[in-house]
Amino acid sequence: MLAVQIKAKEEILPLVSSKRIFIFECLGCHDVYYPVEEAQKLIDSIDQEIVGRATLDYLCHADYDREYIKAYAREIERAEVILVFSCGVGAQVVSSLLDDRKVYTCCDTLYLAGFQGLTAKEFDCDQCGECYLNYTGGLCPVALCSKNLLNGPCGGSQGGKCEVDPDMPCVWQEIFDRLAGLGQLETMDRLGPPKKWNVSPA
């Protein structure tokens, strides 16, 4: 469910210098975004002995990891460093299962809008616990405005674009257009009170 990019080798090589390595690689989300070739390139650039390599789907699933850890017990035992190619969840699960071992991740996890649902989208939901969509024509300013503004656009909205990024649409322009289309422009006059940033459960 997450997209990853491979860390620079300058960041990884000092962690593995003259150590035996075991590799966990997760392909569960490779259809989302997992750069197979770049991962291999990083692995190829490591000069140390690779004592084993487990490739599996859904490294985030602790049950599966336990089985693999059992199957590769000997190799993992021999390894001094365990490298993980997966999103931050997979890396954390492996770390927690190999609690006293040096487990390092080789990936940075990227954010993909819409992916707390199922598909990548141009819009997003921050799951803020205080849905504003009823006042914004169904477009979310919490997730999509650079400044999280709740009372209309700032002074930087021009030509439908956000001042922060000329490629990024101004969500408040979109909200305005949507409400105009719905004949609900009066909704724009509503004073949006300060947001309760603490309503999502911890």
Nearest distance from residue 84's CB to another protein, in Å? 8
Distance in angstroms (rounded) separating the CA atoms of residues 146 and 64: 39
Q: What is the token pair recorded at 91? A: 């890396």
Cβ closer to another protein: 14 or 47?
14
Nearest distance from residue 13's CB to another protein, in Å? 12
Cβ closer to another protein: 49 or 136?
136
Backbone angles phi, psi at 137, to 5 degrees: 60, 25
Nearest distance from residue 22's CB to another protein, in Å? 12
Nearest distance from residue 136's CB to another protein, in Å? 9
Nearest distance from residue 82's CB to another protein, in Å? 10
Instruction: Give yes or no for a contact between 27 and 58, defined as CB atoms under 8 angstroms apart.
Output: no
Cβ closer to another protein: 47 or 191?
191
For 183, residues 6+ apart whose C-beta sits below 8 A from its C-beta are none
For 182, residues 6+ apart whose C-beta sits below 8 A from its C-beta are 137
Torsion, Cα 84 87 89 91, to 10 degrees, reads: 10
Instruction: Give yes or no for a contact between 90 and 26, defined as CB atoms under 8 angstroms apart.
Output: yes
Cβ closer to another protein: 47 or 193?
193
Cβ closer to another protein: 38 or 108?
108
Nearest to 7 by CA among 41, 48, 30: 41
Query: DSSP 3-state assignment of 107?
Result: strand
